[in-house]
Amino acid sequence: MEDTDTVKQFLNTIPHYYAIPNPLLLAYTTINYTDKPDLPQEPELISEVNLTLSISTPKELIIVARAFREFYHFYAIPSTWIKIPEKPSNLLATNKQIPNSNDKINTFISTKDPQSTIYFPITNQEDIPAAIQLLQQHFEFNNLPNFIFSVQDFPPPQ
């Protein structure tokens, strides 16, 4: 929708029991259909909200976005205003998830348990119980991914 009248007519025809996002998604319209001014790209031009840059936590981002929604129309806060540090990629010890490759598992195990003689993928049936026990010491899981095992199936019963 390319004009304010069309967007407002659209909003009036939607039944009230539907949740309408504010602002409407960019797939519907890219114009400012509200009575609010567009969010300035320069933080110095913001007068309605006390803004301290840079935004450094997700919680601050949510607070700022909610405050801006009262006074401005925008789809995204300029990325130059946001300086949320990325989480370290090696969070395996804190989130307890099994890494997504055997190399990453081996690297993790060699740093956390250097005495371990277990190497992934497991190629011997007899090593499976010890490997599962080792993984349980470091990770939480309900099922193990298939890439961890590279063992031959037992022969069919005769």
**What are the boundaries of each domain within the chain?**
1-34, 36-85, 92-148
- At 38 the three-state DSSP class reads strand
Question: CA 32, CA 123: separation in Å to the nearest integer?
Answer: 61
Give residue 29's pLDDT.
Answer: 79
Judge whether residue 105 has pLDDT over 80. Answer: yes
Give residue 93's pLDDT.
Answer: 46
pLDDT digits over 46-102, tens only? 888 877 778 888 899 999 989 998 898 888 889 889 988 887 655 444 558 899 999
Q: What is the DSSP letter of 42?
A: S
Whether the CB-CB separation of 32 and 73 falls below 8 Å is answered with yes
pLDDT digits over 112-154, tens only? 888 889 999 999 888 999 999 999 998 988 899 999 999 887 7
Give residue 95's pLDDT.
Answer: 58
Question: CA 29, CA 10: separation in Å to the nearest integer?
Answer: 11
Question: CA 57, CA 83: separation in Å to the nearest integer?
Answer: 8
* Angle CA 55–58–60, to nearest 5: 50
- Average of pLDDT values for 26-52? 82
